[in-house]
Structure 1
């Protein structure tokens, strides 16, 4: 949900209960499993509810909703050209994530996940054009993505602190797609209902072009959030508790 969805932080489920890591006793241990990827896939699926609720001792807050202070899309030069800011944004739907695959050698990690619906709700400010039509507005907005699919690639390294070695996420790429993007913007054109209703119809008819404009900034924001959460967890779990020495 790590969508996808801070899910990279869930990779630590292979760790045994020890030291400062206080994991629920029923978490599956994949440390010595010969079929590591299959084990991690099942373990991640089982542990998603714990991360959705949040695990304070690992520095993980509730992942559903996942909160963003701001996501900004700069004006491009294509048929959709928008200065668009999303503010005070909550993302829901991570609790319904299905872990589709896990592939890792602890140097590169690849995860794929999906959820039937991802909902993004908050404030917006927009100025620009969609195809030939100008659009302006400031207010509440709602975006819904049906059959949201995410692919996460993380580059890993090792860092030593004192006598212990920890994994670290150096870089993360987040890619996503959806079968349908539905959008609704309140208070377009300073509250002109007729113009606003028509523009909402128009942007939904052209959702693929809108998605092309939104995708880079949204993916980058997810990647930054998931990397931060993943490293917050990894700094608490020594490497030798995650993988065999």
Structure 2
């Protein structure tokens, strides 16, 4: 189970917040305009550079890096079996995301995003145990995982809720982020085999040659953590901006 270190300082007083309008950098779109989907896509693309470093007024924490408390890799094939636990993992690369498409289905209350990340980098503290080619594996230290050219799909379902001010607010009640297989992946774990450079280099080489199997373990956990982080960020904004002030219901 992932524990995501975020948002406490941004959510502690939400019950007492006054309703806000959308930030100036989010341009309104007309709900019933023929080009509403194109307008939403342009708005999302223009918004990311403004929010990636955070916006305290709207309780948006920094989006790059994202801190993930724990990721696990359990690799076993033939004569190799090992478990890698990554702690305090900083995920970087959100600021360079390319938003390929956004589709908002108003009737079903579903929003779909297609994203492209040129590079996703994870810097962490790792702990590995297991065996490889009859040799016991042990290591603890700094680790780096880099994913190159990653496509991702993010879907969330929204509803509305009425607060004490008698206004309706959006609420994201479920969300899911999935990654496609990246074009490449590299792993580097320092201090393997108690600092034995020869054995450590060989093990890093083995993991990089078998990265497609390793990504099957680390990918879903990373996606779940980042997806939940984004859901919380969006709910922070939606808890402050009433539906009547939202760009998707701007009148024609």
- TM-score bracket for this pair, using the shorter chain length: 0.7 to 0.9
CA distance in 2, matches of 1:233, 1:105: 20
- SS for the counterpart of 2:169 is strand
Cα pair 1:130 1:203 within 8 Å, conserved: no
From 128, 138, 141, the counterpart of 1:139: 141
TM-score normalised by length of structure 1: 0.83
Where structure 2 has 5 or more consecutive residues not aligned to the other structure, the ranges are 1-17
Number of residues paired by the alignment?
226
For residues 13-72 of structure 1, the C-alpha deviation after alignment (integer angstroms, 9 at most, x for no partner) is xxxxx9524613x5321144432221111111111111112111111122122222x123
What are the within-5 Å matches in structure 2 for residues 54-203 of structure 1? 54-68=54-68, 70-73=69-72, 75=74, 82-106=82-106, 107-128=109-130, 135-162=137-164, 163-177=166-180, 178-203=182-207
Where structure 1 has 5 or more consecutive residues not aligned to the other structure, the ranges are 1-17
TM-score normalised by length of structure 2: 0.81
For residue 214 of structure 1, what is the aligned residue in structure 2? Answer: 218
Q: Which runs of 4+ in 1 moved over 6 A?
A: 76-80, 130-133
CA shift in 2, pair 1:136/1:105, >3 Å: same
For residue 45 of structure 1, what is the aligned residue in structure 2? Answer: 45
CA distance in 1, matches of 2:52, 2:60: 9
CA shift in 2, pair 1:76/1:181, >3 Å: closer
CA distance in 2, matches of 1:133, 1:239: 60
TM-aligned CA deviation for residue 130 of structure 1? 6.8
Cα pair 2:66 2:92 within 8 Å, conserved: yes
For residues 178-215 of structure 1, the C-alpha deviation after alignment (integer angstroms, 9 at most, x for no partner) is 11111111111222211111000000000000101112
TM-aligned CA deviation for residue 99 of structure 1? 0.5
TM-aligned CA deviation for residue 127 of structure 1? 2.2
For residues 135-165 of structure 1, the C-alpha deviation after alignment (integer angstroms, 9 at most, x for no partner) is 4321101111111111001121111112111
Cα pair 1:65 1:92 within 8 Å, conserved: yes
- SS for the counterpart of 1:53 is coil
CA distance in 2, matches of 1:180, 1:131: 25
| Root mean square deviation of aligned Cα | 2.4
For residues 88-130 of structure 1, the C-alpha deviation after alignment (integer angstroms, 9 at most, x for no partner) is 2222221111110001124111101112111111211122357
**Structure possessing the higher radius of gyration over alpha carbons:** 2
